[in-house]
């Protein structure tokens, strides 16, 4: 926009300046909270997975996720950013300045892609969204209770085909036989090793379809 500014010096003379300014809108901020089933250790805490897998020295970090905003009518992905999920389940995402309603989608390397139950309104004020309080916070109530009143995203989609099934178990079995360790999606419990400790959650979710 074009703005004029009038100033007066010490002897009373006026000076008028014309300014050409571009005012950039602030980013739209999303404060998100979510737990990942396999990494949940109890008492509203997840494991320090990236540290366990040799990718970080920060014990407050759980893992990386991708947060995507989808069009409320066409369901097309519009904005997608990687984000750090902390062990307390929190992450903050900075999107371009937005105005409108969007589904919030959260994806992770061994977790079922999960959306908000309904479109969420974005605008000038920060948005807070918490997947952990109720299955009603997720589209299709697609959450699992990890302790009384605490809900998490389903773990075990190692192949990232949006199902937890025998194809995921095959990957897990191969990595167990190969004594897999480090940054592997088959490390369901996030302890840094792929072993029999990763089987129970995957097997339970397969049986629950």
Q: Is the pLDDT of residue 4 over 70?
A: no
Q: Would you state the pLDDT for residue 209?
A: 83
Total-model pTM: 0.87
Q: pLDDT per residue over 23-68, tens digit each? A: 555 789 999 999 999 999 999 999 999 999 999 999 999 999 999 9
Q: Which of 18 and 193 is assigned the larger pLDDT? A: 193
Q: Is the pLDDT of residue 85 over 90?
A: yes
Q: Would you state the pLDDT for residue 7?
A: 58
Q: pLDDT per residue over 164-207, tens digit each? A: 999 999 999 999 999 899 999 999 999 999 999 999 999 999 99
Q: Would you state the pLDDT for residue 128?
A: 98
Tell me how many degrees the CA angle 133-137-140 measures, rounded to the nearest 5: 130
Q: Would you state the pLDDT for residue 42?
A: 97
Q: What is the mean pLDDT of residues 1-28?
A: 60
Q: Would you state the pLDDT for residue 191?
A: 97
Q: pLDDT per residue over 148-173, tens digit each? A: 999 999 999 999 999 999 999 999 99
Range with the lowest mean pLDDT among 10-14, 122-126, 166-170, 193-197? Answer: 10-14
State the DSSP string of the chain.
-EEEEEEE-TTS-EEEEEEE---PPPPEEEEEE--BGGGEEETTEE--HHHHTTS-S-TTEEEEEEEEEEETTT--EEEEEEEEEETTSEEEEEESP--EEEEEEEEETTEEEEEBSS-EEESSS-EEEETTS-GGGBGGG--EEEETTEEEBPB--TT-SS--SHHHHHHHHHHHHTT-BSS-TT-TT-SSB-SGGGHHHHHHHHHT-
Q: Is the pLDDT of residue 6 over 90?
A: no
Q: Would you state the pLDDT for residue 178?
A: 95
Q: How does 20-49 read in b/e, with b if 16+ C-beta sit within 10 Å?
A: eeeeeeeebebebbbbbbbbbeeeeebbbb
Q: Is the pLDDT of residue 88 over 70?
A: yes
Q: What's the CA gap between 169 and 206, in Å, rounded? A: 9
Q: Would you state the pLDDT for residue 12?
A: 59
Q: Is the pLDDT of residue 22 over 60?
A: no
């Amino acid at each position: 926009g074009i703005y004029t500014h009038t100033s007066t010096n010490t002897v009373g003379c006026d000076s008028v300046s014309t300014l050409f300014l571009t005012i950039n809108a602030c980013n739209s901020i999303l404060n998100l909270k979510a737990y990942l089933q396999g990494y949940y250790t109890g008492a509203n805490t997840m494991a320090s997975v990236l540290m366990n897998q040799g990718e970080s020295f920060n014990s407050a970090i759980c893992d990386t996720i991708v947060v995507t905003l989808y069009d409320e009518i066409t369901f097309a992905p519009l904005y997608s950013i990687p984000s750090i999920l902390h062990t307390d389940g929190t992450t903050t995402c900075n999107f371009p300045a937005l105005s409108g309603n969007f589904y919030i989608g959260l994806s992770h390397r061994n977790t079922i892609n999960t959306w908000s139950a309904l479109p969420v309104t974005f605008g000038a004020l920060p948005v807070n969204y918490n997947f952990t309080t109720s299955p009603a916070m997720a589209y299709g109530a697609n959450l699992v209770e990890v302790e009384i009143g605490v809900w998490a995203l389903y773990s075990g989609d190692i192949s990232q085909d949006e199902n937890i099934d025998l194809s995921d178990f095959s990957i897990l079995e191969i990595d167990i036989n190969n004594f897999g360790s480090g940054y592997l999606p088959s490390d369901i419990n996030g302890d840094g090793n792929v072993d029999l400790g990763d089987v129970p959650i995957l097997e339970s979710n397969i049986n629950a379809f």
